[in-house]
């Protein structure tokens, strides 16, 4: 499969949704809503924005090689699916590790992982973990405890700038992470140190584990709050690829760029609206409920239900 | 008299870091309190001010390490592990990043009270896989801890002493090796940090009363010089540990673990904070109040030997620094 710019970005987004849907149905549950909100963001990043080299890890994911330590030379991170760390290449730090299934699907859709790589998902002894670990495909750091990815990426970006590397540091994160104080600490630091080689895409789906953010802990006018920290903040329709292109090209010298991608947690799968506001992880209470959702979403995505039966 | 060194860390860090461009100095609004203000002023390209935001600082440091820099984080010990513990685990320790956490004002060396006194830091850090723990006991160790910390493939937490620091040792900080300060036959005394100087005050008076003390100073707490401890503990009538820390999880606990695992069957007395918080006051006051001082050590030794050792405080005060110096000479040989 092609690595970049060989598919239309719209098709990459559709492929991501379809892969996550198929996997969720085959496994009786999954992070379906994250695919709805993230598909265009990730399709834009992987297919257009990121400058990445060829993968350095095998297309079929490796087994877990043990935790990092000074006496484990075999430990690896999933960054290999984003290519080498050459100075001109970009890096992508994925902060919400709960989006792992969506990330894996994007890597497969881009031809960076094997077509059947999701067969390894959540399998004991494997590296394709349910909540992405740093050895999981596409992951480079440990971010399942939310809001640390942005700070690590900022350190990385500061260091790359100091070394004169041309590559950018991209961050994909979620709006829920703006409930953590660390995110605001980091915005202040990024602004103070003028870290302008960092590009942050935030999935503003206004959803979290407990439900709608407005009912859990509302963030109000997030764009105004973020802008107030002195960074460049663009608030866009997160399903509009042209808006992404325009925002990504609008970085200002001396300032980090934060793109708030306002998204719908059921974009492309309107049937999920019935589940609102409990969308964080979709599971089924009965066979009937499962069948009803399968038929409805398959129709929306143009998927043949027979495809779901594949082992 | 023993030499008192003024701000040994300030000079040592500048010499160390300027020779290594990949070393970065990070600070969280306690720059002069951690003696790196001069470094900041003279070497701004190697200095990063991250403000009162330790969670971000620890994760940020993890990112710097990913690019081959070796960040040295400077703040008070408490602020390196209490507030940003999750960041310490996930942004640094799990990934075995070469981040060096330089913790100032360990234990009751600060009058700042509970908010400023890191009394369980070693216990917490010992529980973290990949972590190395160092503790300075004198000016020489403060001056030479940097090279040791920087040689470690993974994260390091170091307890550092600031201000006026006595020079007890003439040889540099040696990684994972207990220092032998005396080799008597009766009781093994294992001390760390500022408690080592305190224990040395008891050396001469005990010797004068015919009590043989085998004194070890521990400056690497994780890993630990297990063989050195076992050799010294074998055949003794008892073991006493003395630490500027709670007795749970620190030096006393790790010595207990080794003695038990080795089946030595020797009695142990753990001196330190007896499962209590302290409060804000001077170091000498707190060491006396919480029984971290020479007289507490003498009492514990007497307890192990089944006798009352009568040494007045005046005698301990009088021998203070000269004794320290002569003990070190013995080791240097």
> CA dist A210 to A36, A162, A219, B180, B247, Å?
18, 41, 15, 58, 41
**Helix, strand or coil for residue A236?**
strand
| Chain B residues within an 8 Å CB radius of A192 | 49, 51
CA distance A185 to B15: 31
> CA dist A273 to A107, A277, A291, A296, Å?
27, 8, 16, 12
pLDDT at A309: 83
Which pair of structure tokens corresponds to residue A262?
A: 């306002």
CA distance B223 to A143: 28
Both B120 and B150 in one domain: the answer is yes
Q: Which CATH number fits domain A9-309: 3.40.50.970, 3.30.70.330, 3.40.50.10470, 3.40.1190.20?
A: 3.40.50.970
| B94 with A148: Cβ contact below 8 A | no
Both B225 and B279 in one domain: the answer is yes
- Give A282's pLDDT tier (boundaries 50, 70, 90): confident
| B90 with A145: Cβ contact below 8 A | yes
- From A142, A163, A193, residue closest to B95, measured CB to CB: A142
Stretch A161-166: mean pLDDT, rounded? 98
Both B267 and B316 in one domain: the answer is yes
For residue B67, the domain's CATH number is 3.40.50.970
CA distance B61 to B73: 8
Both B14 and B161 in one domain: the answer is yes
Q: Say if residues B249 and B124 touch (Cβ distance below 8 Å).
A: yes
Peptide bond into B223 cis (omega under 30): yes
Q: Token match 């209590």: residue?
A: B276
CA distance B115 to B118: 8
Q: How many CA atoms lie within 13 A of A271 on its CB side?
A: 17
Weakest mean pLDDT among A271-285, B216-230, B265-279: A271-285
Would you call A193 an interface residue with chain B, using a CB distance cutoff of 8 Å? yes
Does residue B113 fall inside a structural domain?
Answer: yes
Both B97 and B196 in one domain: the answer is no
Among B166, B194, B209, residue at a domain's last position: B166
| A159 with B63: Cβ contact below 8 A | yes
**Angle of CA points A49, A142, A57, to nearest 5°:** 60
With 90 as the cut, is the pLDDT of residue B4 above it? yes
For residue B265, the domain's CATH number is 3.40.50.920
CA distance A159 to A192: 15
| Chain B residues within an 8 Å CB radius of A140 | 66
Say if strands A207-208 and A211-212 run parallel, antiparallel, or are unpaired.
antiparallel
pLDDT at B329: 35
pLDDT at B319: 57
Stretch A86-111: mean pLDDT, rounded? 97
Write out pLDDT tens, residues B189-246: 999 999 999 999 999 999 999 999 999 999 999 999 999 999 999 999 999 999 999 9
CA distance B293 to B314: 13
Distance from CA of B153 to the nearest CA of A (A): 6
Both B156 and B193 in one domain: the answer is no
Both B19 and B108 in one domain: the answer is yes
Both B112 and B235 in one domain: the answer is no
- Give B1's pLDDT tier (boundaries 50, 70, 90): low
Write out pLDDT tens, residues B251-263: 999 999 999 999 9
**Angle of CA points A53, A58, A64, to nearest 5°:** 120
Distance from CA of B38 to the nearest CA of A (A): 20
Interface A-B, measured as beta-carbon pairs within 8 A, has a size of 108
Which pair of structure tokens corresponds to residue A260?
A: 């708030």
Does residue B172 fall inside a structural domain?
Answer: no
- Give A5's pLDDT tier (boundaries 50, 70, 90): low
- From A134, A188, A192, residue closest to B95, measured CB to CB: A134
CA distance B108 to B281: 8
Both B160 and B202 in one domain: the answer is no
Mean pLDDT taken over chain B: 94
Among B121, B144, B166, residue at a domain's last position: B166
Structural domains in chain B (count): 2
Domain span at B70 = 4-166
For the complex shown, is ipTM > 0.85? yes
pLDDT at B333: 26
Q: Say if residues B119 and B107 touch (Cβ distance below 8 Å).
A: yes
**Helix, strand or coil for residue A159?**
helix
pLDDT at B321: 52
Write out pLDDT tens, residues B47-106: 999 999 999 999 999 999 999 999 999 999 999 999 999 999 999 999 999 999 999 999
Does residue B174 fall inside a structural domain?
Answer: no
A64 DSSP assignment: P
Does residue B217 fall inside a structural domain?
Answer: yes
- From B51, B63, B69, residue closest to A188, measured CB to CB: B51
| Chain A residues within an 8 Å CB radius of B153 | 70
Q: Which of B65, B66, B223 to mutate to probe the A interface, most A CBs <10 Å?
A: B66
Both B186 and B243 in one domain: the answer is yes
Both B138 and B253 in one domain: the answer is no
Query: Which is nearest to A244 in space by CA: A91, A92, A48?
Result: A48
Among B141, B166, B191, residue at a domain's last position: B166
- What percent of chain A lies above the pLDDT cut of 90? 89
Both B204 and B149 in one domain: the answer is no
- What percent of chain B lies above the pLDDT cut of 90? 92
């Amino acid at each position: 499969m092609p690595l970049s710019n060989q598919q239309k970005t719209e098709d990459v987004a559709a492929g991501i949704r379809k892969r996550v849907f198929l996997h969720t149905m085959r496994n009786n549950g999954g992070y379906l809503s994250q695919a709805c909100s993230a598909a265009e963001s990730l399709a834009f990043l992987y297919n257009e924005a990121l400058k990445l080299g060829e993968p350095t890890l095998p297309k079929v994911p490796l087994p877990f090689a043990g935790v990092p330590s000074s006496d484990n030379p075999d430990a690896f991170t999933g960054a290999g699916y984003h290519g080498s760390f050459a100075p001109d290449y970009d890096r992508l730090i994925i902060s919400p590790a709960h989006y792992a299934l969506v990330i894996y699907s994007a890597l497969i859709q881009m031809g960076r992982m094997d077509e059947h790589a999701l067969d390894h998902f959540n399998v004991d002894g494997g590296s394709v973990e349910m909540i992405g670990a740093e050895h999981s495909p596409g992951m480079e750091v440990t971010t399942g405890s939310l809001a640390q990815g942005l700070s690590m990426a900022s350190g990385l970006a500061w260091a790359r700038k100091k070394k004169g590397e041309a590559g950018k540091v991209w961050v994909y994160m979620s709006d829920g992470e703006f409930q953590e104080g660390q995110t605001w600490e980091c915005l202040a630091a990024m602004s103070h140190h003028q870290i302008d080689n960092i590009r942050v895409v935030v999935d503003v789906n206004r959803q979290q584990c407990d439900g709608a953010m407005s009912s859990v802990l509302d963030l109000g006018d997030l764009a105004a709050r973020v802008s107030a920290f002195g960074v460049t903040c663009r608030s866009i329709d997160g399903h509009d690829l042209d808006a992404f292109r325009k925002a990504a090209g609008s970085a200002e010298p001396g300032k980090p760029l934060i793109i708030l991608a306002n998204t719908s947690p059921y974009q492309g799968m309107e049937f999920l609206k019935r589940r609102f506001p409990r969308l964080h992880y979709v599971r089924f209470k009965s066979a009937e409920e499962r069948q009803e959702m399968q038929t409805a979403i398959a129709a929306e995505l143009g998927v043949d239900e027979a495809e779901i039966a594949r082992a | 008299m023993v030499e008192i060194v003024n701000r040994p860390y300030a000079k040592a860090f500048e010499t160390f870091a300027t020779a290594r461009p990949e070393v970065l100095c990070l600070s969280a609004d306690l720059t002069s309190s951690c003696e790196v203000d001069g470094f900041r002023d003279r070497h701004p390209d190697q200095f990063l001010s991250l403000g009162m935001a330790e969670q971000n600082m620890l994760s940020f440091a993890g990112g710097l390490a990913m690019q081959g820099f070796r960040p040295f984080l400077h703040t008070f010990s408490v602020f390196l592990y209490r507030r940003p513990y999750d960041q310490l685990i996930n942004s640094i320790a799990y990934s075995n990043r070469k981040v060096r956490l330089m913790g100032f004002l360990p234990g009751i060396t600060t009058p700042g009270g509970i908010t400023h006194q890191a009394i369980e830091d070693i216990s917490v850090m010992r529980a973290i896989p990949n972590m190395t723990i160092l503790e300075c006991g004198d000016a020489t160790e403060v001056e030479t801890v940097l090279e040791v910390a920087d040689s470690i493939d993974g994260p390091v937490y170091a307890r550092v002493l600031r201000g006026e620091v006595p020079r007890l040792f003439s040889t540099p900080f040696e990684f994972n090796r207990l220092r032998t300060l005396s080799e008597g036959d009766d009781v093994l005394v294992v001390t760390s940090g500022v408690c080592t100087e305190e224990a040395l005050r008891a050396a001469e008076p005990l010797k004068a009363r015919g009590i043989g003390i085998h004194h070890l100073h521990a400056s690497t707490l994780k890993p630990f010089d297990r063989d050195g401890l076992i050799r010294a503990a074998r055949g003794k009538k008892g073991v006493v540990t003395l630490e500027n820390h709670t007795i749970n999880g620190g030096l006393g606990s790790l010595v207990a673990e080794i003695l038990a695992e080795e089946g030595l069957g020797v009695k142990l007395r753990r001196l330190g904070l007896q499962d209590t918080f302290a409060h804000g006051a001077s170091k000498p006051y707190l060491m006396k109040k919480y029984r971290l001082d020479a007289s507490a050590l003498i009492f514990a030794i007497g307890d192990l030997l089944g006798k009352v050792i009568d040494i007045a405080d005046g005698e301990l005060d009088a021998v203070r620094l000269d004794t320290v110096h002569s003990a070190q000479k013995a080791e240097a040989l």
